[in-house]
């Protein structure tokens, strides 16, 4: 998404956001409920029975006024009153059942939407998250799906209930007086027309509101994360961040007001018309030629009042549903994202992976870039051996590492493990075979123990301690007041860079990968810390195929082979000594 051009100005709407204006198929929304047809059929049945029962009361009331009271028939009066109470009790009970079933169905649909979006985003490549702001992703799952909750949980039952009530009421009114029924419906055409206009207005406003909510989420994520706070304080940008948040919040106030007030004057006009119709009917009943009984008049006006409530509710549901299409558009946009790194249809299983890694004429291009990040790269790393990749920043070293872990797929050529294309391995097994430790160590905001178990949920405490000892971090952890139950803090900021690296190494050791990728894992450490971490790396690398990316050549001189990368190509490769003897690029880097 495009950033705002300046402080305090309105954010730029990208072409992708404008494309959300395309229509969302109501059939696709309805498909969300296909698995709940039986429950929805029960809801419809309950609604029909409840609506029919509700229509009995006006006729009972007419009998009370026209027969029981004038004739002083106490027995009939008691039966009629008891019938009215029974009808009210039955409709109330049916309403509770209807609400319980429809809400249950709606919540299950919400659960499916949330999990489907989350699962689909989990399958997206790293490139998607590089292009998309974290706050935007969070807003889709929380704000957009949350905003759909009322529509999903109550719209279907509300439409069925109000529609059935309207039909049943019209039938009952026609039975009492078809002439007055026609008079009562004169307000229906303008009501429908105005409602459609209001719906379109709210849909546009809802789309703007959700984009602004996403912007607010981004500001919160960027401004209140531990890294964001540190940047803000060191740059003196606190006031600017507050102003940015305040501007976004002000725009949300305006959008919320516009959403609530959209079409209110039209609705107010309709209410006046609906109130004038009963008055007209009373007037008509008082004319000399009128033969309508008082009981019929009271029953009819009661039905009419009961007609306008569900009729307006039905129209309001139309407004809400149309406005919510903006939310469905945003959710379906994420669900329709293509998965760049696909699971194989029939994955190959490596029962005893050895870790023989090969790159066969691999070329890779990022997105729509016209320049290849890698071009014709071929590498052969026998099982248990080590490869070091060296070169200037941006030469393509980290791209090679990302292809090994299949964070991206090669544009052409193959990456194989033990002769099997990694595209044919399940992503789960590939993650078991390939372990990655990078410079940017990410620790979860939980205990050290749970951070280590993230790699192997069923790891025993003994295995956790053994991994920590091998990573040269156990003594430090054991010396903490809470030991392995110490909270690491947001992104591990409680620990130094070297300590975080060793915790990450212990976490990788628990997985016991056959291929280890070390992506500039010591470039930000001081010499003493680097030596401690390097000892942990030596323990971690023992017996494994290791690919190391490093700027400091002292850390790679003992590798079985070294490849010098430049602009996505291999310039030269060999051992430390042989490359020095060549006097080429490696020798120049070493000097």
Same domain, residue pair 132 and 99? yes
Q: Is the pLDDT of residue 6 over 50?
A: no
Determine which of 159-168, 259-268, 364-373, 452-461 has the lowest per-residue pLDDT on average: 259-268
Looking at the structure, do residues 50 and 170 belong to the same domain, yes or no? yes
328 lies in the same domain as 406: no
- Domain range spanning residue 224? 26-335
Tens digits of residue pLDDT in 208-266: 777 777 777 777 776 666 566 655 655 566 677 777 778 887 888 877 777 666 656 66
Assigned domain for 242 exists: yes
Within-domain flag for 579: yes
Average pLDDT score over residue span 399-423 = 93
User: What pLDDT is recorded for position 443?
Assistant: 82
Of 270, 337, 303, the residue nearest 127 (C-alpha): 337
| Residues 321 and 384 both lie in one domain | no
Mean residue pLDDT across the chain: 78
For the four alpha carbons of 491, 493, 495 and 498, in that order, the dihedral sign comes to positive
Q: What pLDDT score does 35 carry? A: 83
Q: Are 156 and 304 in a shared domain?
A: yes
Whether 331 and 374 map to the same domain: the answer is no
| 3-class DSSP state of 517 | strand
10 lies in some domain: no
What's the rounded mean pLDDT across residues 36-62? 80
Helix, strand, coil content of the chain in percent (nearest 5): 65, 10, 25
**pLDDT (0 to 100) of residue 454:** 86
| Mean pLDDT of the region 263-285 | 67
Average pLDDT over residues 421-431: 92
351 assigned to some structural domain: no
**Any idea what the CATH number is for the domain that residue 185 is in?**
1.20.1560.10
* Block residue for tokens 């919400």: 110
- 470-482 pLDDT, tens per residue? 888 898 899 989 8
Is the pLDDT at 355 greater than 50, yes or no? yes
pTM of the predicted model as reported, rounded to 2 decimal places: 0.67
92-151: pLDDT as tens digits: 888 888 888 877 888 888 888 888 888 888 888 777 887 777 777 777 877 777 777 767
pLDDT of residue 7: 37
| 441 token code pair | 């160590």
Same domain, 284 and 405: no
Q: Is residue 20 part of a domain?
A: no
Q: Is residue 14 over pLDDT 50?
A: no
Rounded distance between C-alpha atoms, residue 44 and residue 98, angstroms: 8
* Shared-domain flag, residues 167 and 61: yes
Is residue 12 predicted with pLDDT exceeding 80?
A: no
In a domain, 481, yes or no: yes
Counted domains in the chain: 2
Claim to verify: residue 298 and residue 432 sit in the same structural domain? no
Is residue 5 very low, low, confident or very high in pLDDT (cuts 50, 70, 90)?
Answer: very low
- Please check whether residues 315 and 386 belong to one and the same domain: no
Residues 292 and 389 occupy one common structural domain: no
Indicate which CATH number applies to the domain containing 389. Answer: 3.40.50.300
| pLDDT value of residue 73 | 86
Do 315 and 393 belong together in one domain? Answer: no
**What mean pLDDT do residues 325-350 have?**
86
- pLDDT > 90 fraction of the chain, expressed in percent and rounded: 17
Residue 349 lies in a domain: no
Quick check: is 538 in a domain?
Answer: yes
Domain boundary (300, 335, 370) is at: 335
Q: Can you give the length of the chain in residues?
A: 591
- What lies within 8 Å, CB to CB, of 589 at 6+ separation is 390, 553, 564
E-strand stretches of 525-574: 545-549, 561-566, 569-574
Which residue has 């209001």 as its token pair? 198
pLDDT, tens digit, for every residue of 515-571?
Answer: 989 887 665 566 676 676 677 677 767 788 999 887 777 778 888 999 999 999 999
User: Is the pLDDT confidence value at 317 over 90?
Assistant: no
Average pLDDT over residues 497-505: 83
Q: Which are the contacts of 47, defined by CB distance < 8 A and separation ≥ 6?
A: 98, 157, 160, 161, 164
Supply φ then ψ for residue 351, to 5 degrees.
Answer: -70, -40
| Cβ burial, residue 26 (10 Å; 0-12/13-18/19+) | exposed
Going by C-alpha positions, the residue among 338, 559, 520, 556 that lies closest to residue 439 is 520
Choice among 52-61, 187-196, 448-457 with the minimum mean pLDDT = 187-196
Note the pLDDT tens digit of each residue in 31-47: 888 888 888 788 878 87
């Amino acid at each position: 998404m495009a950033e705002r051009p300046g402080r305090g100005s309105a954010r730029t709407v990208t072409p992708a956001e404008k494309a959300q204006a395309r229509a969302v198929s109501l059939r696709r929304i309805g498909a969300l409920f296909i698995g709940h047809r039986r429950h929805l059929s029960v809801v419809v049945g309950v609604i029909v029975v409840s609506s029919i029962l509700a229509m009995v009361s006006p006729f009972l009331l007419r009998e009370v006024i026209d027969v029981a009271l004038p004739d002083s028939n106490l027995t009939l009066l008691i039966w009629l009153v008891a019938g009215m109470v029974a009808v009210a009790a039955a409709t109330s009970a049916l309403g509770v059942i209807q609400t319980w079933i429809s809400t249950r169905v709606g919540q299950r649909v919400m659960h499916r939407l949330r999990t489907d979006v989350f699962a689909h985003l989990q399958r997206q490549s790293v490139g998607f998250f590089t292009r998309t702001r974290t706050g935007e992703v969070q807003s889709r799952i929380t704000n957009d799906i949350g905003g759909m909750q009322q529509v999903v949980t109550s719209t279907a039952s509300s439409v069925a209930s109000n529609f059935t009530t309207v039909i049943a009421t019209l039938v009952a009114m026609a039975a009492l007086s078809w002439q007055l029924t026609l008079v009562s419906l004169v307000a229906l055409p303008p009501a429908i027309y105005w409602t459609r206009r209001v719906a379109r207005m709210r849909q546009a406003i809802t789309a703007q509101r959700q984009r602004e909510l996403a912007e607010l989420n981004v500001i919160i994520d960027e401004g209140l994360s531990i890294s964001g706070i540190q940047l803000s304080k060191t740059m003196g940008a606190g006031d600017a961040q507050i102003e940015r948040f305040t501007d976004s919040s002000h725009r949300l106030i305006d959008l919320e007001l516009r959403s609530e007030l959209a079409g209110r004057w039209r609705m107010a006009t309709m209410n006046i018309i609906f109130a004038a119709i009963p008055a007209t009917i009373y007037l008509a009943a008082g004319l000399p030629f009128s033969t309508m009984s008082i009981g019929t008049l009271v029953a009819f006006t009661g039905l009419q009042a009961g007609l306008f409530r569900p009729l307006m509710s039905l129209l309001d549901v139309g407004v809400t549903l149309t406005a919510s299409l903006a939310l469905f558009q945003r959710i379906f946009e994420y669900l329709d994202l293509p998965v760049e790194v696909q699971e194989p249809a029939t994955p190959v299983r490596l029962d005893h992976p050895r870790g023989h890694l090969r790159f066969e004429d691999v070329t890779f291009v990022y997105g729509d870039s016209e320049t290849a990040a890698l071009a014709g790269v071929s590498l052969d790393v026998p099982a248990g051996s080590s490869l070091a990749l060296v070169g200037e920043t941006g030469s393509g070293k980290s791209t090679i590492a990302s292809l090994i872990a299949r964070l991206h797929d090669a544009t052409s050529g193959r990456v194989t493990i033990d002769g099997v294309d990694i595209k044919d391995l399940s992503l789960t097994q590939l993650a078991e075979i390939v372990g990655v430790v990078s410079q940017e160590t990410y620790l979860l905001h939980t205990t050290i123990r749970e951070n280590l178990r993230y790699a192997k949920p069923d790891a025993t405490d003994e295995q956790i301690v053994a991994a920590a000892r091998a990573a040269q971090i156990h003594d430090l952890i054991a010396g903490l007041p809470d030991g392995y139950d110490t909270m690491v803090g947001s992104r591990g900021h409680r620990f130094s860079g070297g300590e975080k690296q060793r915790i990450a190494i212990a976490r990788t050791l628990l997985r016991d990968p056959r291929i280890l990728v070390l992506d500039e894992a010591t470039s930000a450490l001081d010499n003493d810390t680097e030596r401690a971490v390097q000892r942990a790396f030596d323990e971690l690398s023992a017996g494994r195929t290791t690919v190391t990316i490093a700027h400091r050549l002292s850390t790679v001189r003992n590798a079985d082979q070294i490849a010098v990368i430049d602009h996505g190509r291999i310039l030269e490769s060999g051992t430390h000594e042989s490359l020095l003897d060549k006097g080429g690029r490696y020798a120049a880097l070493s000097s």
